[in-house]
């Protein structure tokens, strides 16, 4: 009998540790545990315990087959058998992974898991079991891939772990997804296996959906409870990274992807992995003479140096996938680095990039997870290529792993990532496609998904065992076999090899992609015909996909109504008919998120915002992981002037993709409009999270307490809008309209230094094209006012002067830079700009500069204005300006400048000249005006 669970919930039993790492089980372990730890599922899944757990039953009236786990009567697992039950669940999970991910082929029929009497009584077949499991594992409106093999293994494992209800549980119908289903567990590692099983579950769905919340909550709690730097904690942290990456929808800028990177770095710490992405001098081409800086990953861990000279490494290396050579006439197979290490304080700097110490397969998996943040998995043609920096980074991580081959799965994942990185370069794209083809070929066994890992070039004795392949399986983002083939077909499409892609998509029965291929071949009608033939039952996908189910005379799709709904959505996109989306919604039993997303887009394009809002809300209630759908919903709410709803939608949008500048800008607009309508102090929703006030700690110089205070201060909504716009300009730095909005709101909330920065940036972008119109003169004058009218500096308790960055001396430097370096070099005829500059210089006691600015203002306003000589209003304004400039000459001319010399010794002469010239210019038209007489008197006074 297996050992009882440890009474300390923070520690795992030896059996739990062995199952997590697929390490040799303790000697006292049961045969079931031994079978699971050696990745030989036959012993565990056909054991007496498994036969007591797994049952089949057919309803005599409906002929519906029930497949599942019969829980104990008291709904609790006995403490002494929990490790054995967990071993059965692990064995089932790994059996499914072996069949659909890693290989080799598994000669175990799902029917063998059940009592022969039940199999005979129900008349069940493997195909029917598989269909039933595929139907039941649909999640969040998303179907499981319909050609997934032996899905019964995964279905039973998820039932044992409490993630899906058992049909034999009396409480299944009323169970809530907010807590685990089935009997209670005392083994802490069950939380890790739930997370691992959940990740596998998401990978076989058409689109990722949120997992039940308790999975991540329990995983986070256990992670904090486990000892630091323990293997279990490192493994759990890396699984959390993989889940976040999977939920990021392959966007490198999404919040989830950033979270994935953080967890991957934490996993490196827990595993004792030291790594550094740095640069070294080296050569990348055969004919290169001068060395250039090359990106390289330097890494070592606690096991480094233990295996470098061990012959076992070479033996293991023979059991890895074939790595194709580049064979290019220019590029080297591997970068040639300079031997000398640069002078740096880094402990890793002494490592030779070409001969680094060996690291463990788990550490290699962590490095590959870190690279996923740079180049996520492609979901379409648009994701196949990346910028040069991204491909250089991914190549650096991958080269570090490929140079130290140890594990089949890790090496396969590294080769796959290299294929993705090479897709955008002309010299490497061919090798990338051929390598992808080689990876796919090693997983094919006569069907699109059956995994064997046997190719004609590999001998059976050279193949890695199932245990070696599965040991690091949960530490990698390895796609299932059909996704690997799909990615190969997408790559063919990018190269214009459409017919080969069409053949693969047809074999995989991915009809949406088939239709796209026909569109590329300029035969969209053929794609429509295929979808219609499938929906009308005139075309069979395969021998098992279209069949008459017992007791149901209608022909249905394998994968259930949700997959049929997907085909209706595809037909709607091809024929542009919204009624197909409505049909999809009905067929799916009101569970197709895609149908409502598509309907919402149609209504939005028709300006039917009420209907669009309803559809989009339904779609997001089912699957909320679509930031662009949240964005469209927010736009609908804005058009309908529901500002609170719009604020919520855009908050969710930036929560999913924190670098969406447009969403941040719209969120700011929502805060401002709610402030106008409901009042700005937000007394009505003080408990509401202030999404707009969220800041990047690295980007903001305020402490955390101020963010909390934002909700309590006056102008709280405007401040929230200010913070939202602050985020927006970070991700759309070249949008002058965003900078303008940021400037206006910053002025409103008193952040004048930021307003000055915004005006500076806006002028830089527009001044060449728009000239003086690029300068917001009103804002400029208010900024100068804030400098010149500031009270004397306040003092702190220590008596030191506290400089406010939004007034006086604190604001002077940015405003002075704005004027002298940004505006004045491009503006030569703006009186208001010169007068603002004059006031600033006068405040700074630069009397010579202030007088010069006043003279320039006079020339721009009066001398260069032809209307002064014949327009009465212009004449009267000019008289005031003449008096002003004369007054400044009188007041400043006799003062000492900064160099100690008098500012203007001949100030009277200059003043008389100005007045005399102006009088002569305007005598003919305005000699009889009182203003003219006033200037005559002024002229007399200056003599």
The pair of three-digit structure tokens given for residue 525, joined into one six-digit string: 């009608």
**What's the mean pLDDT in 343-359?**
80
Contacting residues for 716 by C-beta, under 8 A, at least 6 apart: 680, 681, 682, 690, 710
Q: Exposed (0-12), middle (13-18) or buried (19+): which is 882, by Cβ within 10 Å?
A: buried
pLDDT at 368: 94
pLDDT at 801: 56
Instruction: Give the Cα separation of 808 and 794 in Å (integer).
Output: 11
Higher pLDDT, 615 or 793: 615
**What's the mean pLDDT in 199-220?**
93
8 Å CB contact between 156 and 49: no
8 Å CB contact between 873 and 929: no
- Measured CA to CA in angstroms, residue 316 lies from 311, 463, 464 at distances of 9, 10, 8
Contacting residues for 498 by C-beta, under 8 A, at least 6 apart: 492, 517, 520, 521
CATH number of 626-694+702-732: 1.25.40.10
pLDDT at 925: 84
**What's the mean pLDDT in 925-930?**
84
**What's the mean pLDDT in 293-301?**
90
R_g of the chain, CA atoms, integer Å: 36
Instruction: Give the Cα separation of 881 and 490 in Å (integer).
Output: 72
DSSP letters of 747-761? HHHT-HHHHHHHHHH
- Measured CA to CA in angstroms, residue 302 lies from 141, 308, 349 at distances of 45, 13, 17
Domain boundaries of the chain, sorted by first residue: 14-248, 273-477, 478-550, 560-625, 626-694+702-732, 750-786+806-825, 828-943
Angle 921-926-929 from CA coordinates, rounded to 5°:
135
The pair of three-digit structure tokens given for residue 225, joined into one six-digit string: 């409870």
Residue 681: closest CA among 647, 648, 642, 712? 712
Strand 331-337 and strand 274-285: the pairing is antiparallel
Instruction: Give the Cα separation of 171 and 744 in Å (integer).
Output: 59
Task: Give tens-digit pLDDT for 146-182.
Answer: 999 999 999 999 999 999 999 987 665 544 567 888 8
Instruction: Give the Cα separation of 302 and 84 in Å (integer).
Output: 32
Task: Give tens-digit pLDDT for 889-927.
Answer: 888 877 777 776 777 778 888 888 888 888 888 888 888
The pair of three-digit structure tokens given for residue 509, joined into one six-digit string: 């029965």
Instruction: Give the Cα separation of 413 and 398 in Å (integer).
Output: 9
Q: Which residue, chain included where needed, has tokens 């491009």?
A: 826
pTM: 0.84
8 Å CB contact between 143 and 134: yes
Residue 920: closest CA among 908, 936, 905, 907? 936
Packed helices 255-270 and 231-246: angle between N→C axes, nearest 10 degrees: 170
CATH number of 560-625: 1.25.40.10
Q: Is the pLDDT of residue 616 over 50?
A: yes
Q: Name the average pLDDT for the chain.
A: 83
Residue 106: closest CA among 154, 163, 54, 69? 154
Confidence of residue 340 (pLDDT cuts 50, 70, 90): low
Q: Is the pLDDT of residue 541 over 70?
A: no
Which residues are paired to 58 by β-bridges?
65
pLDDT at 940: 83
Confidence of residue 424 (pLDDT cuts 50, 70, 90): confident
pLDDT at 849: 86
Instruction: Give the Cα separation of 530 and 708 in Å (integer).
Output: 58
Instruction: Give the Cα separation of 540 and 533 in Å (integer).
Output: 9
Q: Is the pLDDT of residue 377 over 60?
A: no
- As a whole number of Å, the end-to-end CA separation of the chain is 118
Higher pLDDT, 931 or 639: 639
Q: Is the pLDDT of residue 930 over 60?
A: yes
pLDDT at 548: 41
Residue 915: closest CA among 882, 881, 874, 873? 882
8 Å CB contact between 601 and 628: no
Element (DSSP H or E) covering residue 494: helix 481-494
pLDDT at 941: 82
Instruction: Give the Cα separation of 297 and 279 in Å (integer).
Output: 8
User: How many Cα atoms within 13 Å fall on the side-chain side of residue 98?
Assistant: 26
Instruction: Give the Cα separation of 560 and 133 in Å (integer).
Output: 11
**What's the mean pLDDT in 525-543?**
80
8 Å CB contact between 559 and 146: yes
Question: What SS3 state is found at 299?
Answer: strand
Instruction: Give the Cα separation of 63 and 809 in Å (integer).
Output: 85
Task: Give tens-digit pLDDT for 97-131.
Answer: 999 999 888 889 999 999 999 999 999 999 999 99
Instruction: Give the Cα separation of 267 and 758 in Å (integer).
Output: 40
**What's the mean pLDDT in 805-813?**
90
Confidence of residue 611 (pLDDT cuts 50, 70, 90): very high
Task: Give tens-digit pLDDT for 701-749.
Answer: 333 333 333 333 346 899 999 999 999 999 999 999 999 999 999 999 9
The pair of three-digit structure tokens given for residue 537, joined into one six-digit string: 């039952």
pLDDT at 682: 55
Confidence of residue 205 (pLDDT cuts 50, 70, 90): very high
User: How many Cα atoms within 13 Å fall on the side-chain side of residue 495?
Assistant: 23
Among 416-425, 452-461, 574-583, 856-865, which is the least confidently predicted range?
A: 452-461
**What's the mean pLDDT in 788-809?**
66
Domains 560-625 and 626-694+702-732 agree in fold: yes
Burial 554-576 (b: 16+ CB within 10 A, else e): eebbbbbbbbbbbbbbbbbbbee
Higher pLDDT, 94 or 694: 94
pLDDT at 699: 37
Angle 594-599-604 from CA coordinates, rounded to 5°:
125
Residue 206, number of CB atoms within 10 A of its CB: 19
pLDDT at 288: 84
State percent of the chain over pLDDT 70.
Answer: 84
Q: Is the pLDDT of residue 866 over 60?
A: yes
Instruction: Give the Cα separation of 468 and 534 in Å (integer).
Output: 41
């Amino acid at each position: 009998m297996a050992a009882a669970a440890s009474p300390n919930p923070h520690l795992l039993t030896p059996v739990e540790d062995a199952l997590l790492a697929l390490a040799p089980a303790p000697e006292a372990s049961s045969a079931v545990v031994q079978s699971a730890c050696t990745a030989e599922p036959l012993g565990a899944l056909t054991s007496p315990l498994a036969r007591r757990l797994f049952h089949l039953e057919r309803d005599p009236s409906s002929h519906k087959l029930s497949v599942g786990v019969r829980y104990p009567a008291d709904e609790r697992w006995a403490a002494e058998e929990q490790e054995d039950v967990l071993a059965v669940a692990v064995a089932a999970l790994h059996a499914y992974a072996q069949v659909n991910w890693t290989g080799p082929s598994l000669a175990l029929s799902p029917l063998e898991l059940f009592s022969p009497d039940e199999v005979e009584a129900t008349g069940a077949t493997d195909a029917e079991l598989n269909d039933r499991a595929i139907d039941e594992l649909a999640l969040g409106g998303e179907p499981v891939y319909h050609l997934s093999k032996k899905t019964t293994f995964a279905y039973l494992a998820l039932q044992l772990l409490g993630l899906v209800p058992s049909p034999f549980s009396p409480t299944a119908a009323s169970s809530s997804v907010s807590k685990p289903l089935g009997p209670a567990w005392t083994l802490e590692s069950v939380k890790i296996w739930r997370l691992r099983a959940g990740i596998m579950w998401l990978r076989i769905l058409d689109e990722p959906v949120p997992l039940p919340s308790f999975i991540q909550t329990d995983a986070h709690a256990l992670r904090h409870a486990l000892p630091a730097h323990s293997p279990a904690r490192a493994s759990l942290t890396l699984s959390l990274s993989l889940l976040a990456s999977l939920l990021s929808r392959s966007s490198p800028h999404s919040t989830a992807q950033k979270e994935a990177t953080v967890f991957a770095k934490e996993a490196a710490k827990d595993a004792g992995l030291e790594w550094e992405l740095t640069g070294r001098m080296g050569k990348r081409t055969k004919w290169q003479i001068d060395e250039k800086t090359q990106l390289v990953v330097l890494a070592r861990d606690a096991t480094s140096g233990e295996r470098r000279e061990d012959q076992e490494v070479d033996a293991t290396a023979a059991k890895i996938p074939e790595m194709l050579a580049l064979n290019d006439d220019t590029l080297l197979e591997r970068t040639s680095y300079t031997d000398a290490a640069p002078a740096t304080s880094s402990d890793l700097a002494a490592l030779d990039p070409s001969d680094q110490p060996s690291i463990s397969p788990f550490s290699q998996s962590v490095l590959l997870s870190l690279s996923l943040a740079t180049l996520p998995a492609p979901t379409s043609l648009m994701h196949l290529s990346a910028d040069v920096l991204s491909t250089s980074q991914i190549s650096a991580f991958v080269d570090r792993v490929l140079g130290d081959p140890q594990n089949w799965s890790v090496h396969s994942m590294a080769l796959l990532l290299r294929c993705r990185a090479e897709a955008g370069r002309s010299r490497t794209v061919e090798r990338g496609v051929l390598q992808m083809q080689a990876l796919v070929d090693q997983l094919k066994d006569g069907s699109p998904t059956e995994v064997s890992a046997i190719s004609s070039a590999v001998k059976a004795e050279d193949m890695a065992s199932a245990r070696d392949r599965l040991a690091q399986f949960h530490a990698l983002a390895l796609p299932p076999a059909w996704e690997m083939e799909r990615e190969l077909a997408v790559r063919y499409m990018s190269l214009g090899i459409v017919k080969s892609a069409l053949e693969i998509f047809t074999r995989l029965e991915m009809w949406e992609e088939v239709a796209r291929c026909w569109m590329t071949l300029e035969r969209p009608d053929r794609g429509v015909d295929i979808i219609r033939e499938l929906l009308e039952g005139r075309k069979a996908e395969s021998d098992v996909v279209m069949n008459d189910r017992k007791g149901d005379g209608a022909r249905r799709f394998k994968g259930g109504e949700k997959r049929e709904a997907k085909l209706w959505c595809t037909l709607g996109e091809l024929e542009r008919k919204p009624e197909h989306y409505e049909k999809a919604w009905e067929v799916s039993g009101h569970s197709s998120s895609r149908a409502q997303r598509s309907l919402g887009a149609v209504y939005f394009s028709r300006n039917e915002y009420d209907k669009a809002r309803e559809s989009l809300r339904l779609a997001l209630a089912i699957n909320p992981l679509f930031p662009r759908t949240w964005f469209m919903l927010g736009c609908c709410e804005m058009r309908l002037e529901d500002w609170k709803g719009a604020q919520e939608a855009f908050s969710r949008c930036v929560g999913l993709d924190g670098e969406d500048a447009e969403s941040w800008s719209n969120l700011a607009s929502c805060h401002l409009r709610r402030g106008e309508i409901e009042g700005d102090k937000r007394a009505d929703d003080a408990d509401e999270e202030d999404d707009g006030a969220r800041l990047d700690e690295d980007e903001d110089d305020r402490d955390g307490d101020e963010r909390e205070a934002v909700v309590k201060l006056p102008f709280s909504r405007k401040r929230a809008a200010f913070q939202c716009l602050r985020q927006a300009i970070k991700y759309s730095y070249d949008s002058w309209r965003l900078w303008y909005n940021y400037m206006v709101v910053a002025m409103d909330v008193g952040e004048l230094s930021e307003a000055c920065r915004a005006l500076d940036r806006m002028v830089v972008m527009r001044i060449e094209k728009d000239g003086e119109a690029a300068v917001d003169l009103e804002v400029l004058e208010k900024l100068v006012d804030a400098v010149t009218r500031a009270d004397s500096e306040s003092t702190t308790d220590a008596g030191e002067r506290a400089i406010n960055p939004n007034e006086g001396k604190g604001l002077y430097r940015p405003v002075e830079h704005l004027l002298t370096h940004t505006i004045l070099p491009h503006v030569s005829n703006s009186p208001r700009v010169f007068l603002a500059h004059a006031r600033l210089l006068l405040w700074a006691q630069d009397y010579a500069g202030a007088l010069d600015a006043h003279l320039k203002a006079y020339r721009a306003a009066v001398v260069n204005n032809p209307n002064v000589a014949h327009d009465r209003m212009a004449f009267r304004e000019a008289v005031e300006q003449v008096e002003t400039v004369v007054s400044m000459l009188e007041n400043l001319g006799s003062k000492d400048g900064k160099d100690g010399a008098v500012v203007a010794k001949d100030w009277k002469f200059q003043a008389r000249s100005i007045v005399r010239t102006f009088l002569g210019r305007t005598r003919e038209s305005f000699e009889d005006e009182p203003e003219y007489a006033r200037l005559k008197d002024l002229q007399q006074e200056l003599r």
